[in-house]
Structures are given as C-alpha cells and as structure tokens.
Chains A and B, each alone.
Chain A
C-alpha cells in the first residue's frame, strides 16, 4: 500500500520549497481574498431599508402627516421629496429618483373623520422585485394596523397576535449571513487556482514528463502536491475567520475547532478540482479559464446569494453537485446557529466523498491523458 503513494514525501518537500520561493503568489493568494472580503462585507446589504420615496400629500392635515411619519419610522422608506401634483409623482419614479410614491388624496382625513374608508395610492417601481415586495408588505401592514387601531381604539387587544422571535442574527445583519458563504467562495478560488497552476506549470517546464519516468506513483505525486496547498487553504481559512470575527464582529455561535475540521474535506474537494483542471489544461492561461468555470456555479447555485429553496427544480438538483452548497451549510450552521457535529456530519461526509471521487478521476485522467499522450 505504501507503494501506491510512492514519491509523496519527495514531492511534498519540493512543493513546499516552490511555495516558499514564490512569495508573490503566496502574498496575492492570501491577501487578495481578505481585500475582497472587506469590500464585499461592507458593500453588500440584503436588508431592504431606506427605499427612496416621493410623497404627494394633498390632504395636508395632522392625520395625514401622522401616516407619513409612520411610514418613515418603519425604516423602510426614505422620503427624498414632496411633490404637489400627480405628474411630478409619476415622473419622480420614471426618472428613477424614487422607487415608491405615496399619494394621500385631499379627502383623506375628512373621510376618516366621518368613519368612511380612505384610500392611499402607493406607486411602486416593480423592476426590482425584492424592493417592490418589501414596499407592498410594509405599506399593507401599516394600513392594516391603522385600520384596526381606528376600529378597536387606542390600545387594541388583538384576538391573534404574532410575536416573531428571531433566533439567530436577531438584527438581521447582512455580514452575518454573507460572510460565512463568502468564506466558501474565497477558499475555493485560492485552492483550486493554486493547485491547477502548480501542476500546469510543471507541464510547461517539462518536469512532469521527467517525473513520470521515475518510480513516483500518480497518487504520490498528486497528494504531495495537494497537501502543501491544503495547508495554505487552512491558513487562509483562519485569516478569513479572524477577519469575519474581529473586523465584521460576526459572532460565532458554534465550535470553531469543528469548523476547522470540517473545512478540510471542502479544501480537499477544491484541490482535487484543481488537479482535474490541470489534467485538461496545458498552459496556465487555459487553467485559469477552466478554473473560472467553477467560480460561477459556486456563487449562484450554492445558496451563497440566492436561497436554494426558491430555485427551479433543475437548479436545485444542480446545487447538490456544487461542493460549496455543503460547506455553506456547515459554515452557516456552525457560525450562525451553533449547530454541532450531529447535524453537520452528512455534509462533511458528502464533501469527503466528492473529494475522493474527484481525486481518483483526476489520477486516472492523469494517467491516460498526460502520461500516455
């Protein structure tokens, strides 16, 4: 069995030397992801707040101003301008100045005073569906609330009262949700690219050809190349985690050690992907293009940005083939929900299986396409 991994030690020795010599690559592969994390972490906010709003208040009474105050106090709407006619209201939305327009008609307070139903026109720019949805929800519930208060008095007792309690991430902070996912994406990039390059470079140098005429076995060669980059990937993980915890103040509810442990199978998958890429590509430029192919599915199908539950069936099935899907389950589980081993081991197991399968395929492809060619 030892024979199967023959040459591992030698390749490992050599590969760590390459890594040490090539400090530029190392620097970029470790520092750039942190930069990306900082930019994306501060830049992305999925909570819809402060929607630009124009108001045409034809009523101009205390009652209508109270309604406007309630809208702004909801934190959802941010009033950019008051207009004085219907045309300006519509134009503000067409021009993109605002996404929502309120029109409170002249008889608003009058009708309420006489116990009749009053209408408020809400114009919504539907081009961004999540903004539109949020605007509809908030205005509807404010309208409902307002109506109930008027029917039941100042301190109403509702027959049914919903009391939501948000268990994790109670402030709905975006970084808490995004960064554990971003971790998976960044880790994938670094490790896949590094391994793919390290092998394709040897093709370009002609040293790979030489290695095949030595007693090194493909598995020894591949693992020897893989393990140093596993180390780098792990170091990267620690840096990303520290950045998340201390720069973005994302609380970690679960066991950090477990997260470290379960990230190993994920890094292993990314590295095997890199090796598979290198069995196909013969130049570093080709390797780069192939590696980019893995980036988009990771971003779009893993649940990193779009919830997998709302995906069409086919894409949801596809998401099961994306390694990051499982790792994001793990990171969000541990970091946000404090989930333990008993809930997450299936994800880790799938990753381990994927990694082994990819490595075997890569080793075979290596044998058939690279050595025999």
Chain B
C-alpha cells in the first residue's frame, strides 16, 4: 500500500467504480477510468452530468459513496490532505485575487503550499520566466487580460510543482491565441511527465488530448484515446461508412451529392464534403458520377468519424437504451 506520492506506479489517477449519491440522486454512477502519468486526459460531458462531482471526489472534497480512487498513488478516502498537497487545481473563473498584484497572487499560493522562501523564490523565477510575467509583476490581477489571467492562475496552481493538474474549463472565455498558447504549454509540460485532467466543451481541444472520457447522466459512456473511440463499432451505424470528398466546388457538389443513391447524409466541411454513405458504395463510380456533372474531384477518401460524431452517436444510443430500460 503506497503511503506517499512517489510510488512507482504508472498511473496518475485510478478510479474504480466511483459512486456518489446525494440523497436519492446518484450524481456519479459506477465511473471507472485510469489516467497514465504524463497524459492529457480530457473529461467531457454536458453541464450537470457529474464532471465537477468527479473532480471533487478525486480532490478529496467529497467523500465517496462507493468505489475506490487513488490519485498520485494516494487513497482519496484516507489521504485526502496529502492528495491536495500533490495536485494543482485551476477553476474556470481563474480564481485570482483581483486586488492583489501578480507577485502577491503568486506569493500567496506559494505560502499556501508551505514552500520555503528559497524554493518560492526559485519557483517564482521559473514561472515568471516560463510565462513572461516579468513586466507585469506589480500589476493588479484585475488589470490583466483574460489570457494573462489564465496564465497567472495556471502559474499559481503549478507553483508547488504538482505532478497532476486539474484544469476545469481552462479556456472558457479567452481568445484563440491565448487558447493555442495554453495548449502548447500543456504539451510541453506533459512531455516533462506532468499529468493534466482537463474538462472542456471544445471538441477541437478534446481531439488534442491523449485520452478522452465522456460522462453522460452520471455514467461514463466513452473512455479511450480519440483514435480508439472513433473505431468503436456503435459509432458507425451498421452498413455505413464515412467519406470525405475533396473538391473545389463544394456548394454545387453538395447539391448533387444529396441526389445520389447510397449517400445517407452530407455536410460541407471547409473545402470538402463529409458524407455518411452505404458501405457497399463504389467510390470510383461515385467519382465518375460527379465528374460527369462537371465537378472537379481532387480526391475521395475514407474518413474517420470526428470526436463530435462519436459523442453524438454514443449519447443517442445511450439515451435510447435508457428509455428502453426505463420503460
């Protein structure tokens, strides 16, 4: 039984059959997943599906009604205090003190984690260097832009060198450049072995994660790498496949494609058309059909479903089974 955070395990988080009930309501129902060290774990699900409850359970704020969980090798039931020493947490509103300066915010969090003055000084220098806070050290947090606030919040959460960070919707409400920069930073840090537990509503962010899980009505309905999830048989309705038609005349091609037998549905996606087609459709005859109408087809290739497709399919399937089960 490991008693401190530095066990040899490959797992940053292990959750087995997590259950949390509030009275009659089961907020988290038999949720299990494992997060390897250094992974970026994307935790998705609609609001109210139990995401926050899972985070609260893993950070030791909410007692488990059932199941077991270890975080950084520590049992969250019995070692909640130690768990909180070993993790960082950034909430979606960045939780900074607006009337304190950048320097003061960092100092406060340094002291919260009882860093020695030397270590605080060293870590502060590293965080300032990493994020380029130098010119802003004496600026009030209130005067920072959204992107800078978020970087400062992340800096505060990382000051004590946690090996696991919980980021609750880290990119809500910030501009695309800052969003891109944050993800670059996450990749850089994860390359150094830091694990991230990220909740998000953005599908493109989910695609970037090494590992994705989707929670829906208290139950985990998907868990795996984005590639694995796209190969789940249920995601593809039986007898169909997805293709991408690369063409320069998307609008006209779409109108035509919708008349062709064997094409179930089609949507424009940038400079191409994504279509769900019958499995036995002949791609070369499809190309001929389009070219006959004078449309230049650059390429037709099979297409893996997007994560959005995956979640849409799984949600609908789950809803259908829930309705059957419920009568």
Taking Cβ atoms with an 8 Å cutoff, the residues of A that contact B are: 3, 6-7, 9-11, 13-14, 17-18, 21-22, 205-207, 209-216, 371-372
A209/B95 contact (C-beta < 8 A), A214-B112, A216-B112 known = yes
A13 to B107, CA, bound (A): 9
B85 and A14 contacting across the interface, CB-CB below 8 Å = no
Q: What's the least CB distance linking A322 to chain B, in Å?
A: 35
Asked if A207 and B95 make an inter-chain contact with CB atoms under 8 angstroms apart, the answer reads: yes
Q: Is B169 an interface residue (CB 8 A)?
A: no
Q: Is B81's beta carbon under 8 Å from chain A? A: yes
Q: For the complex, give the distance between the alpha carbons of A215 and B90 in Å.
A: 14
Q: Is the CB of B107 within 8 A of A210?
A: no
- B166 is an interface residue with CB less than 8 A from chain A: yes
Q: A7-B112, A14-B97 are in contact. List 13 more A-B contacts (CB 8 A).
A: A10-B111, A10-B112, A13-B107, A13-B111, A17-B99, A18-B99, A212-B61, A213-B87, A214-B89, A215-B81, A215-B114, A216-B112, A372-B62
Q: Is the CB of B111 within 8 A of A215?
A: no
Given A10-B111, A214-B113, A216-B112 in contact, is the A372-B98 Cβ separation under 8 Å? Answer: no
Contact A21 B99 (CB under 8 A): yes
A-B Cβ contacts below 8 A, count: 67
The reply to whether A207 and B99 form a contact with Cβ atoms under 8 Å apart is no
Among all A-B residue pairs, the 5 with the closest Cβ atoms: A10-B111, A210-B95, A213-B89, A206-B93, A21-B99
Given A14-B104, A213-B59, A213-B61, residue A205 in contact with residue B111 (CB < 8 A): no
- B100–A14 touching, CB < 8 Å: yes
Q: Which residue of A lies closest to B92 (CB)?
A: A206
Q: List 29 A-B contacts (CB under 8 A).
A: A3-B81, A6-B114, A7-B111, A10-B109, A14-B97, A14-B100, A17-B99, A17-B100, A18-B100, A21-B99, A22-B99, A205-B93, A205-B97, A206-B91, A206-B93, A206-B95, A209-B91, A209-B95, A210-B89, A210-B91, A211-B112, A213-B59, A213-B61, A213-B84, A214-B113, A215-B112, A215-B113, A371-B61, A372-B61
- Select A13's contact among B81, B85, B90, B108, beta carbons within 8 Å: B108
Question: Nearest Cβ in chain B — how far from A297, in angstroms?
Answer: 34
Q: Flag whether B96 is at the interface (Cβ < 8 A).
A: yes
Instruction: Write out the residue numbers on chain A whose beta carbons fall within 8 Å of the beta carbon of B111.
Output: 7, 9-10, 13
A3, A10, A18, A214 pick with most chain B CB within 10 angstroms: A214
Chain B nearest Cβ from A15, distance in angstroms: 10
Q: How far is the CA of A126 from the CA of B62 in the complex (A)?
A: 64
Q: Which residue of B lies closest to A221 (CB)?
A: B112
We find that the number of chain B residues with CB closer than 8 angstroms to chain A is 27
Q: Which of chain B's residues has its CB closest to A212's CB?
A: B61
In the bound complex, CA of A206 to CA of B114 (Å): 22
**Complex Cα gap A17–B213 (Å):** 41
Shortest Cβ distance from residue B163 to the other chain A in the assembled complex, whole angstroms: 15
A204 to B62, CA, bound (A): 21
Is A18's CB under 8 angstroms from B61's CB? no
Say yes or no: B112 contacts A207, CB within 8 Å.
Answer: no
In Å, the complex CA distance between A263 and B318 comes to 64
- Which chain B residues (68-113) contact chain A, with CB distance < 8 Å? 81, 84-85, 87, 89-91, 93, 95-100, 104, 107-113
**What distance in Å separates the Cβ of B107 from its nearest Cβ neighbour in chain A?**
7
Which residue of A9, A205, A213 has the most chain B CB atoms within 10 A of its CB atom?
A: A213
Residue of B nearest to A202 (CB): B97
When distances are taken between beta carbons in the complex, the residues of chain A under 8 Å from B61 are 212-213, 371-372
* Contact present for B108 and A14 (CB under 8 Å): yes
CB distance from B266 to the nearest CB of A (A): 44
Query: A18 contacts B97, CB within 8 Å?
Result: yes
Determine how close the nearest CB of chain A comes to the CB of B317; give it in whole angstroms.
Answer: 33
Smallest CB separation, B141 vs chain A (Å): 11
Cβ of B166: which chain A residues have Cβ within 8 Å of it? 213
Instruction: Point out which of A17, A205, A210 has the most chain B C-beta atoms below 10 A from its C-beta.
Output: A210
By a CB distance below 8 angstroms, the chain A residues around B99 are 17-18, 21-22
Q: Which residues does chain B contribute within 8 Å of A206, judged by CB atoms?
A: 91, 93, 95
Closest to A206 in B: B93
Which of A3, A10, A205, A371 has a CB less than 8 Å from the CB of B108? Answer: A10
> With contacts A13-B107, A213-B61, A215-B81 known, is A207 near B96, CB below 8 A?
yes
What residues of B have a CB within 8 angstroms of the CB of A216 in the complex? 112
Q: State how many angstroms separate the Cβ of B325 from the closest Cβ of chain A.
A: 30
**Chain B residue contacts of A9, Cβ below 8 A:** 111
Q: What is the bound-complex CA distance between A94 and B113, given in angstroms?
A: 74
Identify which of residues 110-151 in chain B touch chain A, using a CB-to-CB cut-off of 8 Å. 110-114
Query: Taking the nearest CB of chain A, how far is it from the CB of B61, in angstroms?
Result: 6
Query: With the chains together, A231 CA to B89 CA distance in Å?
Result: 32
A11-B109 Cα distance, complex, nearest whole Å: 9
Q: How far is the CA of A34 from the CA of B213 in the complex (A)?
A: 60
- Nearest-Cβ distance from residue A282 to partner chain B, whole angstroms: 15
Q: Which residues of B contact A3 (CB under 8 A)?
A: 81
